[in-house]
Amino acid sequence: MTLKLWTHCNVATLQAGTVAGAPAQPYGLVDDAALVVEGATVLWVGPRAQLPPQLEARCTQRFDAGGALITPGLIDCHTHLVYGGDRAAEFELRLNGASYEDIARSGGGITSTVQATRAATPEALTTQSTRRLKQLMAEGVTTVEIKSGYGLALEQERKCLQVARGLGQRHAVDIRTTFLGAHALPPEFAGRADDYIDLVLLMLPALHGEGLVDAVDAFCERIAFSPAQTARVFAAARALGLPVKLHAEQLSDSGGAAMAAGFAATSCDHLEWLSDAGAAAMAAAGSVAVLLPGAFYFLRETKLPPVEILRRHGVPIAISTDSNPGSSPCTSLLLMLNMACTLFRLTPEEALAGVTRVAAQALGLKDRGVLAPGMRADFVLWDVQRPAQLAYALGANPAIQTIFNGEAR
C-alpha cells in the first residue's frame, strides 16, 4: 500500500502523553512534525527528526504542508441537521417578547418544525441538509452526529434517518445517526405522553432493525419528557445494545443526568442546570458532558453550565453546534470553539479537545479524535501557527485542506 508523508507542519495530535518519545506538550503538540498515513490510517506521527529513515524511504507520496498546523478532523457530536423549514418567524416573536418555553407551549417551537419536516420530501430534506452539512465540512468537520426527532412517527422518523444516512453516502464525511423519537410530544398525542412513549418503544426496534440507529437520545425537560418516561426509552435502547445520551438539565434541573448515568449514558448534553450530584453520577458512569454554547447564546440563557463542577469531578467536556432551527441555527463548529471559551470560560485547549478527542468519546468512537498510530487518517491543515488561533478568531475559516480517510476531499 502507498504510504503518504506530510512534513513542514506542526501537529496538534491531542494525544494526552508523550508523542513518539517527545515530552508531553499542551494539545499533544509536535513542532516540525512528520505524519505518515497508510491507506485510511495513521501509521506514524512525531518530530520530523525522529522519523525512522526506513519508514521515510517507503513513503511514495510526499506533501509539503507549507508550515500549516494539523489537527484531527473536527467532530460535531450533537446536531439536529435534518429538518424542514426554519424558525426565523419564531426568532422575531422572541424579540417581541415571547419566551422559548411560551412558544413551545402554544404549539410553536419544535412542533412547527415537525410540521415542516413531515411535509418535506426526502429530496427536499436532503437539499436543505446538504447545504448545512457543507458549511460544517468547510471548517474541517469529518464526523457529524445527526439526530432524528422532527418526524415523531415511524415513517417520518425513518425518512429523516434515511436522509441522514444518505448524506454520509454522498459526502466525504462520517455520519452517526441517533434516534431522538422522544424529542417532543407530537400534536396528535396531546395530553397522552405515556401513549406516545409506547409508540417510541415500537419505533425503536423497527428502525434499529433497518440499520438506521447508532444511538438513542431523549429530551428530558418539563416541556418534553419526564425522567420516568425517558427511562423507559433508555431501558429499551440498552436491551437492544444501543448506547444512550440525553438532552439534560437544559432549562431546569429534572435530575435527568443522574438518571441517564444509571444507563451508562455516553453523554449528557446542555447541562446548564446540572447539580453537583448529577455531575458526580456522570463521573461515576464515565459520561461525557456535551456543552452547547450556540443554544445558550441564541436563547440568551443566563445560567452557565457548571464547568468548575465538571472539572472537579473529572467529567470530560465536549463542545458541539447543536445545529437545529429553534435553539441553535448554527453551522460553524469553529464559532462554538470561540463561544465555549468566551461564554463558558473553557481554555482553548479544553475547547479543541472538546471538538476532537472528547467529542469522539461522546459518540463512543475509539478510532478518531486524536492523531496517533492506528487512528483514522482524518485531519485538517490550517493556515494558523498555534492551536489557540482556532478558538480566538470570530468568523474566520483558516481551513486549507481536509483529509478524510487518508484522502484529500
User: 4 or 80: whose CB is closer to Fe ion?
Assistant: 80
Q: What is the 3-state secondary structure (H, E, C) of the chain?
A: CCEEEEEEEEEECCCCCCECCECCCHHHEEEEEEEEEECCEEEEEEEHHHCCHHHHHHEEEEEEEEEEEEEECEEECCCCCCCCCCCHHHHHHHHCCCCHHHHHHCCCCHHHHHHHHHHCCHHHHHHHHHHHHHHHHHCCEEEEEEECCCCCCHHHHHHHHHHHHHHHHHCCCEEEEEEEEECCCCHHHCCCHHHHHHHHHHHHHHHHHCCCCCEEEEEECCCCECHHHHHHHHHHHHHCCCCEEEEECCCCCCCHHHHHHCCCCCEEEECCCCCHHHHHHHHHHCCEEEECHHHHHHCCCCCCCCHHHHHHHCCCEEECCCCECCCECCCCHHHHHHHHHHCCCCCHHHHHHHCCHHHHHHCCCCCCCCCCCCCECCEEEECCCCCHHHHHCCCCCCEEEEEECCEEC
Q: How far apart are CA 386 and CA 216, in angstroms?
A: 37
Please report how close the Cβ of residue 218 comes to ligand DI6 at its closest, in angstroms. Answer: 9
Nearer residue to ligand DI6 within complex by CB, 71 or 332: 332
Q: Is 250 in the site for ligand DI6 (CB under 6 A)?
A: yes
- By CB under 6 A, is residue 325 in contact with ligand DI6? yes
Segment 171-190, which members bind ligand DI6 (CB under 6 A)? 183
Contacts of 347 (CB under 8 A, 6+ apart): 341
Which one among 113, 177, 266, 323 touches ligand DI6, defined by CB under 6 A? 113
Out of 79, 320, 324, 338, point to the residue binding ligand DI6 (CB under 6 A): 324
Query: Interface with ligand DI6 includes 350 (CB under 6 A)?
Result: no
Residues 127-166 that bind ligand DI6 (CB under 6 A): none
Nearest to ligand DI6 of 178, 338 (CB atom): 178
User: Is residue 219 close enough to count as binding ligand DI6 by CB under 6 A?
Assistant: yes
Interface with ligand DI6 includes 227 (CB under 6 A)?
Answer: no
109, 151, 306, 316: residue in contact with ligand DI6 (rule CB under 6 A): 109
User: Of 214 and 217, which CB lies nearer to ligand DI6 in the complex structure?
Assistant: 217
Residue 324 C-beta: closest distance to Fe ion, Å: 6
Q: Which residues of 250-263 are buried (b: 16+ CB within 10 A; e: fewer)?
A: bbebbbbbbbbbeb
Report if residue 215 touches ligand DI6, rule: CB under 6 A.
Answer: no
145 part of the interface to Fe ion, by CB under 5 A: no
- Binding site partner of 325, from Fe ion, ligand DI6, none, Cβ cut-off 5-8 A by kind: ligand DI6
- How many residues in the shown chain lie near ligand DI6 by CB under 6 A? 13
Find the part of the chain contacting ligand DI6 (CB under 6 A) among 37-45, 55-63, 108-116, 128-136. Answer: 108-116
Indicate which of Fe ion, ligand DI6, none lies near residue 272 (CB less than 5 to 8 Å, by partner kind). none
Given the complex with ligand DI6, which of 113 and 332 has the nearer CB atom?
Answer: 113
Footprint of Fe ion on 312-331 (CB under 5 A): 322
Q: What whole-number distance in Å separates Cα of residue 337 and Cα of residue 355?
A: 8
Stretch that binds ligand DI6, among 126-134, 195-203, 317-325, 350-358 (CB under 6 A): 317-325
Q: How far is the CB of 322 from Fe ion (least distance, A)?
A: 4
Closer residue to ligand DI6, CB minimum distance, 247 or 368: 247
The least CB distance from residue 265 to ligand DI6, in Å, is 15
Please state, in angstroms and as integers, the Cα–Cα distance from residue 174 to each residue in 76, 101, 181, 274, following that order: 10, 34, 22, 31
From candidates 110, 125, 207, 359, binder to ligand DI6 by CB under 6 A? 110
Return the number of the residue (11 or 257) whose C-beta is nearest ligand DI6. 257
Residue of minimal CB distance from ligand DI6?
A: 326
Site for ligand DI6 contains 326 (CB under 6 A): yes
What does the alpha-carbon distance between residue 356 and residue 368 come to, in Å, rounded to a whole number?
A: 8
* Residue whose C-alpha cell is 486524536: 370
State the residues that interact with Fe ion by CB under 5 A: 322
State the residues that interact with ligand DI6 by CB under 6 A: 109-110, 113, 183, 219, 247, 250, 295, 322, 324-327
